[in-house]
Chain A
């Protein structure tokens, strides 16, 4: 059984700029919140080991720039993702409305084998802010998640470490399930690779 191999779960965190992707990731991995984070340029990742069911897995969390303009570069990072985390700011309707776009973009760029069942998790971040500032109700978010195939939904605060641990545990779990799926697929030759390899070396395209 292949599933006993050491597992790397690749998780992509997407969402509008300033919704707290970097903060969430750092809260989960480093257990701290800093108000010194800058806008992410390019991409970076952090890893953390955790136990899912009875397995120790390594989760590699990819943090990317939030501005759409940079997403065309995402392909290289999206490839081989096991789970995609969509983050919005509960105090910004726009960031919530953008989730559709992020989801579609991801599916196009990462082109997972089974887009219908690819695991997403939605995080509504910054719930530590005053209730009066809140622009997206829990109900509204959950309705959206349900409509998109029962995407798990968490309301989090990276600042106060609320629900972060739980959310990422679920992310890991779903990613692990996805990983197992992908392994099955990997027994077959992957026709996409040729393309993606070409797209990596820009050379003459420009």
Chain B
């Protein structure tokens, strides 16, 4: 084993307090790991401290409750369901006779007769306590709420102390036994503020999380104005602390500063002199910007110098000027950590974010505009070194970025809904006058026009022409009947592709509809060419057509069976001779590993497979069931052996494996590359789990996408480079921003492009997207316009908030599952049309320029001829002049915008087979 990671700091924490390394072992108090918190609190009883605990609890059983707060939880695991909610309380026990405590404890107790205890009681325990106690806690919480608990002299509340032993997690400890309290105020990385009590002997109590949002404490009589940021200090811990401050000395360690330690605050309780010196010396940095300082709490010891920083009292904060409040919020923002981003963004709540956030966090997101105006966003100048990448602003930026996006989307949706309802009313009006004007497959376009809102974001300078309209009408997919009629009417393939581009196929689970999509895909993927069997020809034509198409299908399946049989036979032979082909075995392993984790959330690929394999399928394809029973790579014996325990083998996964292995031998140059299983999986589903058909589907897709998978990645590089150029033409501002953020390589689009957004949309959506892309109707690389559309709809967020390469990457990755397909496709189409107009305009302009130049040249030539003949001695000057001409021409050329060949290539779409 390598060196053990964590020297045991927990021992002798107190005794060698001048040694900084032993100050506090934060790692043990982070309590994120179940190991530290899962234990019941029994172990305290093994501790010398337990003596005092028992003392306290034995003292008559009743104690005066000074403070209590509900919804303070312990999180034994990282799952919300395991959280244990309870009451945090401060109680005071009256000791009639002074008794000795553990000798090393310092003594606010010895002077008075009263001992202050901190208690935490889980709800479940409180329920078991007697009614009076329960009432006591509730009453006190109400008073705490009113924030005048201490003034109400006449109404002491007495409660029983929770037993220190035998109850899970419940505790009751004298304040004197606390060495320090590690506090994390609520922030983006800590949704709930937390406090961990570290005891003298090195034990840390389970971390308490303040679920303030669930607690009545923060409910104010006036509904909070969502636009008014809540002061951060208004969470559960500060009031708790301020109450305790009259009973013990608290010193905030300057070793932990919120800037550096995720907002962590370490409060020493009754610190020893040496501890004080160490912790107050602090670090070599400017003091923190806590805007409001409160008078230090009274303590028997001299006031520390420099004045210690304490929590701003929430009461003070409430009366603070808006500016001060803002300052507080701003300083919070600077405290946010990177972890927050991933946590917040990966959190399921991140989708409909804001309404679900605890108020403290919500307050943070309410000030994005302010934040920017105050110029706190660090200007990006030049390169930063690695350490600076961890700017404290980052997570906040990412978070705000996501938030801004959600708000924009909500607004957009609302706007669209409104327009749609308006359109409906209008249609209803016109419907009376205009009856049944529908012709064939053409469907009304109004619906989509209402969703044009996003396009207001498009930069207006693409072209002098008006922004084109999208033509897609996905709400009217091609039905099985319509699909049939396309052949019957003898439509040409371009028409068919346009129809598919515009409408796509239906998601209906009716067998005919499923079949229509499957046939459509056969055409798009080049398995059954559109003309096969002829078009038109009425009923007899249809019969003939179907027959010939079925024959073509059968032939393909036979070829597949041959391909598959070949490698299997060879593999079996090799196996016998020399233990198998090493290269195949490796490939097989790679394929196996990936297939087992492809779309496992789809019922068909779920493990173990209970989903019925559609048995009525032709066996020519090999049948997914039987796929790997024979054969040596065989896969079954050896392959299973090796990977078998990872997951039981679902027959459909086995089929994917066989298809990919066959593809590997079919196209050995390319081989299997990660991402192919992602491409295959929906095809296999659309082809109704027919192995052979799916194989040819894969072949068809790979014909279109092969370049993505080349060994040297040149295809991907070229595509990303083309996208880069496209951005520079279509959105120079975004381009400049990506350049500033070191993101111009567009790696964050890599996954998008490599597998046609397979990971960005839900399975069903992917199918809809792909049939649109594969029409190649406008462009063979329409996928780049889809990428551009997504970038465009996020451009404001990108430009405004994201300033580093890794932020952009994270943001892009986290878009997965949040992108609206139809809006995106509509926008992609508009972008394509705009781009095409732009190129046309440019070409026209350039042609005109050329024309002018030619004319100009002719003029000049005539002039110079004239001057040349009049004064033959000025030849030199004439030459000078033509130099000028050349320069002039050169500069004119520079003014012109040129469209690279890569970009021009984007205008090439399907041209017939």
Contacts and interface: CB of A to CB of B under 8 A. Distances in A.
A94 B586 contact: yes
Interface string A72-86: 110011001010000
B111 interface: no
A180 to B, nearest CB: 10
Contact of A35 (B262, B386, B600, B674): B600
A153 B77 CA distance: 28
Nearest to B5: A169
B595 to A, nearest CB: 10
B717 A206 contact: yes
Interface stretch (B147-155, B213-221, B335-343): B335-343
Given A41-B674, A206-B717, A58 B600 contact: no
A80 B4 CA distance: 26
B714 A39 contact: no
Contacts of A8: 338, 386-387, 389-390
Interface in A36-79: 36-39, 41-51, 53-54, 56, 58, 60, 65-67, 69-70, 72-73, 76-77
Interface in B350-403: 383, 385-387, 389-390, 392
The secondary structure that dominates the A interface is mixed
Contacts of B720: 202
B78 interface: yes
A134 B47 CA distance: 43
A10 interface: yes
B4 A166 contact: yes
Nearest to A93: B642
A201 interface: yes
A32 B348 CA distance: 15
Interface in B152-184: none
Contacts of B389: 8, 10, 80
Nearest to B752: A42
Contacts of B642: 91-92, 133
B674 A70 contact: yes
Nearest to A151: B2
Nearest to B395: A47
Given A152-B3, A166-B5, A6 B259 contact: yes
A1 interface: yes
Contact of B647 (A35, A58, A94, A205): A35
Interface string B248-261: 00000001000111
B597 interface: yes
A72 B747 contact: no
Contact of B338 (A47, A130, A152): A47
Given A8-B387, A47-B338, A73-B750, A39 B674 contact: yes
A111 interface: no
Contacts, number: 193
A36 B600 contact: yes
A4 B761 CA distance: 43
Given A7-B390, A17-B590, A43-B809, A54 B20 contact: yes
Nearest to A1: B284
A110 to B, nearest CB: 12
B96 interface: no
B228 interface: no
Contacts of A201: 724, 744-745
A31 B78 contact: yes
Contacts of B599: 38
A36 B760 CA distance: 15
B754 interface: yes
Contacts of A65: 674
- By CB atoms of chain A within 10 A, which of B339, B717, B721, B759 has the most? B339
A183 interface: yes
Contact of B677 (A6, A39, A60): A39
Contacts of B745: 76, 200-202
A193 B716 CA distance: 24
Interface in B284-326: 284-285
B909 to A, nearest CB: 23
A33 B34 CA distance: 14
A46 B283 CA distance: 29
Contacts of A143: none
Interface string B860-899: 0000000000000000000000000000000000000000
B698 interface: no
A8 B338 CA distance: 9
Contacts of B260: 4, 6, 56
Contact of A29 (B342, B390, B747, B748): B342
Given A31-B78, A41-B678, A202-B721, A60 B338 contact: yes
A47 B387 contact: no
Contacts of A103: none
Contacts of A72: 712-713
B717 A202 contact: yes
Contact of B21 (A5, A38, A54, A130): A54
Nearest to B672: A67
B386 A41 contact: no
A129 interface: yes
Given A30-B346, A36-B601, A183 B78 contact: no
A44 B21 CA distance: 35
B842 interface: no
B590 A182 contact: no
B674 A67 contact: yes
Contact of A76 (B2, B30, B747, B751): B747
Nearest to A75: B745
B441 interface: no
A7 B745 CA distance: 26
B838 interface: no
A109 interface: no
Contacts of B818: none
A152 B2 contact: yes
A191 interface: no
Nearest to B255: A54
B6 interface: yes
A182 B717 CA distance: 31
Given A51-B30, A92-B589, 11 more contacts: A1-B284, A10-B389, A31-B77, A35-B600, A39-B675, A42-B754, A56-B262, A60-B806, A66-B674, A69-B711, A203-B721
14 contacts: A6-B390, A10-B389, A30-B78, A36-B597, A39-B674, A47-B341, A56-B262, A166-B4, A166-B5, A179-B387, A183-B387, A193-B383, A200-B742, A206-B718
- Report, nearest first, the 7 A-B pairs whose CB atoms are least far apart: A8-B390, A152-B2, A18-B593, A169-B5, A42-B750, A80-B386, A42-B751
